Structure 1
Amino acid sequence: MASHYTIILIFSVSIAATASTLLSDGLKNDLFPEILRDVAVARLYELGKVSDADGYLERTFLSPASIRAGNLIRTWMEDAGLTTWMDGLGNVHGRIQPPNASKKALLLGSHLDTVVDAGMFDGALGIISAISALKVLNVTGRSRNLKHPVEVIAFCDEEGVRFQSTFLGSAAIAGVLPVSTLQIPDKSGLTVQNVLRENLIDTTEENLSQLKYDADSVLGYVEVHIEQGPVLESVGLPLAVVKGIAGQTRIKLTVRGSQGHAGTVPMSMRQDPMVAAAELIVSLESLCKRPQDYISSNGPDGQCNAFSIKSLSGSLVCTVGEISTWPSASNVIPGQVTFTIDIRTIDDIGREAIIYELSNQMDTICDRRSVSCIMERKHDANAVSCDAGLNSQLKSAAYAAIKRMTGEDIGDVPVLMSGAGHDAMAMSHLTKIGMLFVRCRGGISHSPEEHVLEDDVWAAGLAIHAFLDTNL
């Protein structure tokens, strides 16, 4: 009798285990881990090895590594069932055109270029997540039901490292890239147009406008990107919706003095651009740490309102990232010092007020030190807001993705501002935009320490898949 019950017990456990396995496999298959996590992560690491440098990651506009990366991305697009091409500025496109779909296409994308000594997730995660989500739609046959074409774009240049001009690829597609950009030189003297021709791309000032997309042919633009900040890690969630992107100004400041012998020119008689530059940099730091102390009654339009001052205090960041001197010798008082300034805030009026005050401080310091100072604005981008409708859809998709993965009700998906610039800023001139942020370890980016958990890569791909499947 005891043995009879034992047999029944074992049989019951076996049935329960089988049912559990079937349920688990069904859930696992519904989450597509092989495509959205395993393959996506492997591709991120493979792309992270495509570099122009030995020992660190560097891919700049149309460099040899950039071309190799673009070709690799095209093979992944084709593997997902997309029709691919490269346009006249080096952007890589992959498009799915369902039968009977509307002419208006949803654009997805991010950038394939990197900074110097970069991490492997910045830009790449957005491209690979989009490709992976479309592959799932193709594998499941759901792509035939799409009401709109979907196009993934790997933009050729967002970081602006080589030519100090950001958003080359996305600005061309949005129709806001000045034709003069083609004549901007890099440090070796090669212009953008020279580099294009080296790669057998014949884009001229006359045909540059042909790269612009017709606004009536675009439904919207969605970008997935690592947060590049610590908020998601602090709240313990993998995804957030982006409310908007801070405006940005890049400045080149040149200080010229009197070059001389380090041992023979008395300190009281020097016109040293190095110490003037140092004072300017420290002055900039004070201005950006405590803007309320400087701009309450200043600015290009007179009085800054209370909202601008408050928003500046919460979002303003200023960075000097590059300094060069001439002739750069230890025993020579330099004749010239050049440095860059990067100013970002969500408030465009406040950003102009900061630049106005910086210009005043520059005049005062340079006059007192008997040196000349020239301020050149190299890049300006106003703050942009993401579309409320797209954000609502992305928020629902992110919530669904996280709940399906964890089985838990996470409450509300966070909504964040972006202090970093993205291709979405340029694309906002063409169409409505939406963005998702993905958690990155320690908030570290633009560094080889940049890292995203494999399950967070999975969550990003699953969210984009849910967004496409539900809304298109």
Structure 2
Amino acid sequence: MASHSTINKLCKSSKLIPLVISLFTIVVLLLSPISAAAAASTHVSDGLKNNLFPEILREEAVARLYELGKVSDVDGYLERTFLSPASIRAGNLIQTWMGDAGLTTWVDGLGNVHGRVQPPNASKKALLIGSHLDTVVDAGMFDGALGIVSAISALKVLNITGRLRHLRHPVEVIAFSDEEGVRFQSTFLGSEAIAGVLPVSTLQIPDKSGLTVQNVLKENLIDTTEANLSLLKYEPESVLGYVEVHIEQGPVLESIGLPLAVVKGIAGQTRLKVTVRGSQGHAGTVPMSMRQDPLVAAAELIVSLESLCKNPQDFISNDGSDGHCNAFSVKSLSGSLVCTVGEISTWPSASNVIPGQVVFTVDIRTIDDIGREAVIYELSNQMHSICDRRSVSCLMERKHDANAVSCDSGLNSHLKSAAYGALKRMTGEDIGDVPVLMSGAGHDAMAMSHLTKVGMLFVRCRGGISHSPEEHVLEDDVWAAGLAIQAFLETNL
């Protein structure tokens, strides 16, 4: 340790900063390439020394994720649907964080929260980075929120270090108001509006209480009509591309022991609403042989759907006899097809009444769009056969369709390099090749692909669990995501 006399000589030297500061700070100033003004901040200096910024990209980001995870419309679990009171509170919180990062903020006509930096002399084409602020019922706190928080944190680092103003393109972070589609059973309301593909009829879709999308917007002092909905659309020539960071929602990254992956593409999906109507009656007086029970018919339909989706090769051929061309591989379909009945309701829903009506949802996903249509065609055939045999009526409505999306190879190449560099800087080791995965879950990138090229990063989640309170991401993996986005912005913009 230096003696008191040595420290006194250092403090009196005319060649050193004329301030009484600790020897530790002097060493940091002499060895670090950062400015003296930045080094004077003890909170920031440790992060600046090694350029990894754990205070912002890990500690602060994780704290914000947990804070956002407490913003819910119900006690006991997380639920935040389109423009609900909790959704508004979450949007206000996100706006505050955007402002803290040096971004100009606003809320658009569909409740999307925006934060934008417009560097001097930058090109007009903006890079968009986004994810969603809404949740499913009984949700986890990382789905959607991780992407928003990681992007804001990365931009905050660039702002603190003075590099934000040197970007060659504007950067805009968007927290989309609806991706999950829980309230109105119509996904991607926010991102489809920006991409310009949201049908104007969507404004008149009712929720379970009878309120329409337009009603809910008006309740929140947003005057969006069929006439001005198109004003929300971004022009393709104003956008450089779209990037999304999201938890994997699957177990692959955990199984291979890596925090990040690049997404090659996103499976297409269709959401159906099936209504089965029969003859409502007394549970004790109608003989079993004379019943027209829609619930039993629905149960058979659901089991039939499971068989179809587990073994599509047993029901669908490639010879064109099923009414579809043979431009898809049944083997490929078998490897990616998943089907889910997630919601079912009966009327009048009483223990001593044979139901008169049953409604259930069907979610069908696969990377093969033609194969998905073939599955829907076969399901429709089975439905009419079962319903005719049971003397009940059936109606199948398509509530949502999204074709499979391929991510842009150029954006993915840059994201892959950024992820590799971030992980190497964190670990000091060569982690090998960053994996490339397909996404079976839908993302706002699907809607944004109608506007511009898209790229995605996946972040490891524990057990591959998502849409559940058990959803969890390691703090260091949150750090890796933010560091990768920071590296992507520095290298490419």
From 212, 235, 239, the equivalent of 1:214 is 235
For 1:471, the aligned partner's letter is N
Does residue 423 in structure 1 map to residue 444 in structure 2? yes
TM superposition shift of 1:29 = 3.6
User: Match of 1:457, as an amino acid?
Assistant: V
Asked if structure 2 preserves the Cα contact closer than 8 Å seen for 1:109 and 1:223, the reply is yes
Look up the match of 2:425.
404
Contact kept, 8 Å, 1:299 with 1:356, in 2: the verdict is no
Aligned residue number for residue 6 of structure 1? none
Cα distance change, pair 395–299 in 1 and its aligned pair in 2 (3 A): farther
For residue 284 of structure 1, the aligned residue among 300, 305, 328 is 305
Match of 2:326 among 304, 308, 312: 304
Give the alignment of 1:159-170 within 5 angstroms: 159-170=180-191
Task: Specify the alignment match of 1:95 in structure 2.
Answer: 116
Alignment partners' CA distance in 2, 1:265 and 1:240: 58
Aligned to 1:10: none
Match of 1:253 in 2: 274
Instruction: Check if 1:327 corresponds to 2:348.
Output: yes
Aligned residue in 1 for 2:478: 457
Matched, 1:199 2:220: yes
Q: 1:153 aligned to 2:182?
A: no
Match status 1:229 vs 2:250:
yes
SS in 2 for 1:328: coil
What TM-score do you get using the length of structure 1 for normalisation?
0.94
User: How many angstroms does 1:310 deviate by?
Assistant: 1.8
Q: Alpha-carbon deviations, 1:100-119, whole Å to 9, x = none? A: 00000000010000000000
Q: CA deviation at 1:410?
A: 1.1
Residue 130 (1) aligns with residue 151 (2): yes
C-alpha change, 1:25 and 1:75, in structure 2 (3 Å) is closer
5+ long unaligned stretches in structure 2? 1-26, 33-44
- Partner residue in 1 for 2:63: 42
2:316–2:322 contact (8 Å) kept in structure 1 = no
Conserved in 2, the CA contact under 8 Å of 1:78 and 1:84?
A: yes
The residue that corresponds to 2:101 in the other structure is 80
- Asked if the contact 1:299–1:354 (Cα under 8 Å) also holds between the matched residues in 2, the reply is no
Contact 2:196 2:451 in 1 (8 A): yes
Structure 2: distance between partners of 1:299 and 1:409: 52
Counterparts in 2 of 1:21-40, with a 5 A limit?
Answer: 29-40=50-61
* Cα contact 2:153–2:482 (8 A) shared by 1: yes
Among all aligned residue pairs of Structure 1 and Structure 2, give the percentage whose two residues are the same amino acid: 88
Question: Residue 154 of structure 1: SS of its match in structure 2?
Answer: strand
Give TM-score, length-normalised by structure 2: 0.90
Q: CA offsets per residue over residues 190-234 of structure 1, 9 Å max, x none? A: 000000000000000000000000110000000000000000000
In the alignment, which of 208, 217, 223 is matched to residue 187 of structure 1?
208
For 1:263 and 1:451, how far apart are their aligned partners in 2?
49
CA distance in 1, matches of 2:254, 2:428: 19
| Aligned residue number for residue 404 of structure 2 | 383
Looking at structure 1, the residues matched to 49 and 87 of structure 2 have their Cα atoms a distance apart, in angstroms, of 35
Q: Write the distance in 1 (CA, Å) between the matches of 2:337 and 2:100.
A: 43
How far apart in 1 are the matches of 2:478 and 2:56? 11
Deviation at 1:302, TM superposition (A): 3.3
Corresponding residue of 2:415: 394
Determine the structure 2 residue equivalent to 1:374. 395
Q: CA, structure 1 residues 299+289, in 2 after alignment: closer, same or farther (shift >3 Å)?
A: farther
Please tell me the root mean square deviation across aligned C-alpha atoms, in Å.
1.6
C-alpha separation in 2, matches of 1:269 and 1:256: 15
